[in-house]
Amino acid sequence: MSHPGPIGMFDSGIGGLSVLAAARSALPGESFVYLADQASFPYGPRSAAAVRVLSERAARVLLEEGAKVIVVACNTASAHALAHLRRTFDVPFVGLVPAVKPAALQTHSGVVAVLATEGTLGGALFHAVRREFANGVRVLELAANGLASAIERGGPWAAETEDLLAGYCGDVRRSGADVVVLGCTHYGFVRRRAQELLGDDVAILDTADAVARQLAHVVAEHRLAAPPGGPSAVRLLTTGSVGDLRRTVEALERAGGLPSLGAEYAEVRV
């Protein structure tokens, strides 16, 4: 069996494009439709109830686009809305879980730092994962206030982004952590720079590749793979400005932060 529909993804902004890139590498024959809910960015400071409403709205847009499976490519939305979405809609959902388990297994110092938004750190999902997998390990919760917004606004190369990232990396170094978990999809765009600031003795864990592997498993399990030989396309939707999204994506492509997507762009009203 096969399914010609696209794989849907959403985030409050461009952060989930790091997950999209990993998913395209894992599933090169699939088409994707990605919704950047930039009119509602950021999700992090919003209440759990508000995030559920926004996530349900995003899922409905993707389903109207024919999505056969939906990736919640946002840690905050996964923390507050994943269970709700699975109860509400009859398609598979794949969410993001901060990589506390592999970090706890990998640390030698016994200290792990989780860099995330306040919404993710305050969510039940994160605390459940921490309780289950971080026994005997000290977990430093770093609410990286403003970092996702700086990346969204000016890109990973902006001076504001550099200043904030340097400050948070300094906090990590002072804590003694030897493993850092990136708990926001936006942070994947500054992973390389964070590694330079932290040094090679600190490991950085991102979830994009793990999510891509889980997505491939779900597609196979539900027999949703695209028909062989069909076209593979990327459609990028935004609730904000198409021009702004296009400029940001093309700048990331030129800088090597994203592989070339060859995307079609459209604005949606929700």
Q: Which residues are catalytic?
A: 74, 184
E strand spans, 61-217: 69-72, 93-94, 111-116, 138-143, 179-182, 203-205
Classified as helix, coil or strand, 45 is coil
By CB atoms closer than 10 A (0-12, 13-18, 19+), residue 104 is: buried
DSSP 116-142: E-HHHHTSHHHHHHHHHH-TTSEEEEE
Among residues 218, 174, 167, the alpha carbon closest in space to that of 193 is found at 167
Among residues 252, 218, 251, 187, the alpha carbon closest in space to that of 3 is found at 218
Residue 223, by phi and psi: left (phi above 0), alpha (psi -120 to 50) or beta?
A: left
186-215 b/e with 16+ CB inside 10 Å = b?
A: bbbbbbebbeebbeeebbbbbbbebbbebb
Cα pseudo-dihedral 176, 179, 184, 190, rounded to 10? 90
Distant-in-sequence, close-in-space partners of 105: CB < 8 Å, separation ≥ 6: none
Q: How far is CA 201 from the centre of its chain?
A: 25
